[in-house]
Amino acid sequence: MRIATWNVNSITARLPRLLAWLESSRPDVLCLQEVKCAADAFPYEELRGLGYEAAVNATGRWNGVAVLSRVGIADVVTGLPGGPDFEGAQEPRAISATCGPARVWSVYVPNGRDVEHDHYGYKLRWFEALRDAVAADAAGARPFAVLGDYNVAPTDDDVYDPAVFEGATHVTPAERAALAALRDTGLSDVVPRPLKYDHPYTYWDYRQLCFPKNRGMRIDLVYGNAAFSGAVKDAYVDREERKGKGASDHAPVVVDLDV
């Protein structure tokens, strides 16, 4: 079974590349983030043509998550149970579903913006709600994983130059503690390091030639429970998909399981 996650940074802008990637990589399940469209504008028909059903949590031009599956979708939960509001609204940042033998969450964790910004506190509260929401499945016997754009680099090795990020979000002790608390529910990072290269970054800013210079961050993660991580046979960042015209600023992360 192949399960992947990808922040596509607008499914409308990325649709030709997404469809081509689905045809070439053939994941059984794909978790998407930052789809940036309303649910009724989601390209269901195009995806159905490739054999994929879709569960979507999206409301407009910002945020938005989805789960695509060609092995069935059941028990869909839209949103983060107990999740905090931001500026009086529940943002579409989480969706979960059972796909074949596995249960997955697609999450787009709040960015945090700046450590002095209200969004930073919101990010930490969102992590707390996520931890509480996944605890039962994380401790369970069924293969289970939380996949997505976590907007946190787990360690200094997951950014190209720690000095550049000093004092910024994505690397603060509080954010990394939130990740550790999530792992403590029974989850672990299933993507081994190093992979085929020293720094398997998943995100490179569009500006300042960050991708050609490999000035990246590893913030797209797959955290699985014991049943999930024990079944992993291979995992990789599809760095090739970050190349070329019209690419997302994130690369897909792909995990192959024997389940």
Q: Environment class of residue 110 by beta-carbon count within 10 Å: exposed (0-12), middle (13-18) or buried (19+)? A: buried
Q: Is 137 a catalytic residue?
A: no
Q: From the candidates 28, 120, 122, 149, which is the catalytic residue?
A: 149
Closest CA to 53 of 72, 33, 31, 25: 72
Q: Is 91 annotated as a binding residue?
A: no
Active site residue 108: yes
Contacts of 213 (CB under 8 A, 6+ apart): none
**Range 116-130 burial, b when 16+ CB lie within 10 A, else e:** eeebbbbbbbbbeeb
Q: Is position 63 annotated in a ligand binding site?
A: no
* Residue 208: DSSP 8-state: G
Instruction: Tell me if residue 40 is catalytic.
Output: no
Rounded-to-integer distance, Cα 234 and Cα 2, Å: 9
Task: Please give the structure tokens belonging to residue 138.
Answer: 């994380």
Out of 28, 52, 108, 158, the active site residue is 108
- Is 156 known to sit in a ligand binding site? no
- 182 CB-near residues (< 8 Å, 6+ apart): 127, 130, 131, 134, 146, 223
Residues acting as catalytic residues: 108, 149, 250
Residues in binding site for Mg(2+)? 7, 34, 149, 151, 249-250
